[in-house]
Every structure is written in C-alpha cells, then in structure tokens.
Amino acid sequence: METLMLEGELAEAELLQVCEELSRRLHRGVRQVVVDFAEVAHLDYRGVRPLMARAEGFRRAGGDVKLSGLSPYLAAIFRAAGAHDRFEMYPHMNDARAAFALMRAPFV
C-alpha cells in the first residue's frame, strides 16, 4: 500500500500527472493507493474523470484507490463531477489505510 500526498491548487494538468503516477505504480505491482487531499485547496473538476478511470484500472487488477482528507469544498467538486459514488472517501489518510488493512484481514 502506498500513499500519494497532494498539495496546493491542482489544475487539470496536475491531476493528469497524478493519474500518470498512479499508472506507473499500478504497472510496478502496487494495488492499493491512498490519495490524500488534506493539503489541497482547490482542484479542477475536469481532472476527476481521468482519476476515476485510473481507479477502475486498480479495481480490475484486484486493488483500489481510496481518497482521504477531502474538505467539504473538494468533496462537492467530486460530487459535481459524478464521482461521489466512485471512491471510498475517508477523513484522514490513516482511516483509508486502515480500511485497506481490514480488506486483507481474514474472516473468523
């Protein structure tokens, strides 16, 4: 499991770079990624759909991409872009990381 920590204002081009980084990690065999938005002030909604597509690639490979640290403002941008039900969103990156750990826990 890996965590991508983002910061600042993310234009469409920066979000496409995040997507490229996710693709590189997927090709390296990483299957679980948390993308942390705690330090992001704004993002361009046009970059959300490519992010959804990358997450689908992780799911097809047996993994997932979870989001953390979204402010109410950023969560509204994700909802407006149609991604409100495409990602599991957590308040803090540790919560998202714990959710991955629970996925791997054996059933008793």
d(CA 9, CA 43): 6
Q: Are 58 and 64 in contact (CB under 8 A)?
A: yes
What's the total number of domains in the chain?
1
Query: pTM, whole model, 2 decimals?
Result: 0.90
Where does the chain have alpha helices with state H? Answer: 12-27, 48-60, 72-80, 93-104
What per-residue confidence (pLDDT) applies to 103? 67
The residue segments making up the domain with residue 31 are 2-104
Q: What is the pLDDT of residues 13-46, one digit of tens each?
A: 999 999 999 999 999 999 999 999 999 999 999 9
> How far separated are the first and last CA of the chain, in Å rounded?
23
Distance, in Å, from the CA atom of 12 to the CA atom of 30, rounded to the nearest integer, reads 24
CATH number at residue 76: 3.30.750.24
